[in-house]
Structure 1
């Protein structure tokens, strides 16, 4: 009995740790997506994951740390973006960037965590700072380095702003007819603008 009590009060068995952590992260992404950063609580995440709040703190610490972990998973596909965008002639970089971004958004597996990220970042300064740090350091600066052009960072940021704004209207605010338009039509219309930001005069 003493051994069981000791184990229960200590860290979770190693075999349970990965599953529990994943369950907490899945619940966190769903909560952040539905409620945004401000209205999501550690207690709410714990309840959704079916665990005690203390276990959430054990794995992640603060709500900001949980949000950052959720963002890193959501942004994982985007970390291949600089290589995918640079793989080919520069006169097609706008379409490659646009197609890549909308490919991530159109995939249901990556759309939910991205919704959590965007909804939280636009409503809370802490969430926005986490999002900005990850996007700036791991995505935009790497794209800018591939461009090898004057004011490359500004060009990459303007291109990203075009794509994020379009995604916000389509997937978050759901403005029609953009929300139900064929993705290929959107790519054809948006890609030349992104190309202009990246390589235009």
Structure 2
């Protein structure tokens, strides 16, 4: 049999893709799913490559290994922090908590919850993920709270982070019902008052 034909048929059987941009995209998508299911430590290059339908060598080729793939696939938020901050500031201060709840839920839902799942499930075993969470929520919320002129900015920051991260864990990871399948506006109505108090209310 012709060697080229044999190679082509083998590739088709294994579902491999050409080493191009579609391979990179397939690896990113597959890794988000695998990291979400297993966390960083238990996810393997081989399982990610198999999910993507490519050779495991492509992970090193495109990302330099699992750590590089994790950084590209998981530590990429499904929104621009700058754009998000501008959107949250666009409105009355007394509705800030409502905008935070609605915006985060909408963005995480729009990403299918997979980015959040992979990030949080990997926090316990991968310091880069934990640092990313602390840096993002700490810096992000602290800046917003300083803009509101509230006192005790550090405490308020961590309280807001606990509400947003905790809500994400229950909705996308633990999947407690009925919260996991509740409409966004139902959850906004429920949690926005807590966020608003953390932002501008008395917390003494």
Give your verdict on TM over 0.5.
yes
2:113 is the alignment partner of 1:114: no
The answer on whether the counterparts of 2:28 and 2:73 sit within 8 Å (CA) in structure 1 is yes
- The DSSP-based 3-state class of the residue aligned with 2:79 is helix
Q: Distance in 1 between matches of 2:143 and 2:122?
A: 24
Which segment drifts farther, 35-44 or 127-136?
127-136
Q: Which of the numbers 85, 89, 92 marks the counterpart of 2:95?
A: 92
Partner of 2:150: 149
Q: Distance in 2 between matches of 1:143 and 1:110?
A: 26
2:64 is the alignment partner of 1:61: yes
Q: Over aligned residue pairs, what C-alpha RMSD do you find?
A: 2.5
CA shift, 1:24, in A, is: 1.2
Runs of at least 5 residues in structure 2 that lack an aligned partner in the other structure: 1-17
Partner of 1:139: 140
Q: Which of the numbers 48, 52, 56 marks the counterpart of 1:45?
A: 48
Q: Distance in 2 between matches of 1:27 and 1:167?
A: 21
The answer on whether the counterparts of 1:64 and 1:126 sit within 8 Å (CA) in structure 2 is no
CA shift, 1:91, in A, is: 0.9
CA shift, 1:125, in A, is: 3.5
Q: Distance in 2 between matches of 1:133 and 1:119?
A: 15
Partner of 2:197: 196
The answer on whether the counterparts of 2:88 and 2:100 sit within 8 Å (CA) in structure 1 is yes
- The DSSP-based 3-state class of the residue aligned with 1:176 is coil
Partner of 1:163: 164
TM-score (ref. length: structure 2): 0.77
Bigger helix fraction? 1
Which segment drifts farther, 172-181 or 30-39?
172-181
TM-score (ref. length: structure 1): 0.78
Number of residue pairs matched by the alignment: 184
Runs of at least 5 residues in structure 1 that lack an aligned partner in the other structure: 1-14
Q: Distance in 1 between matches of 2:128 and 2:70?
A: 7
Distance 1:83 1:58, change over 3 A: same
Distance 1:156 1:182, change over 3 A: same
Q: Distance in 1 between matches of 2:185 and 2:137?
A: 27
The answer on whether the counterparts of 2:34 and 2:43 sit within 8 Å (CA) in structure 1 is yes
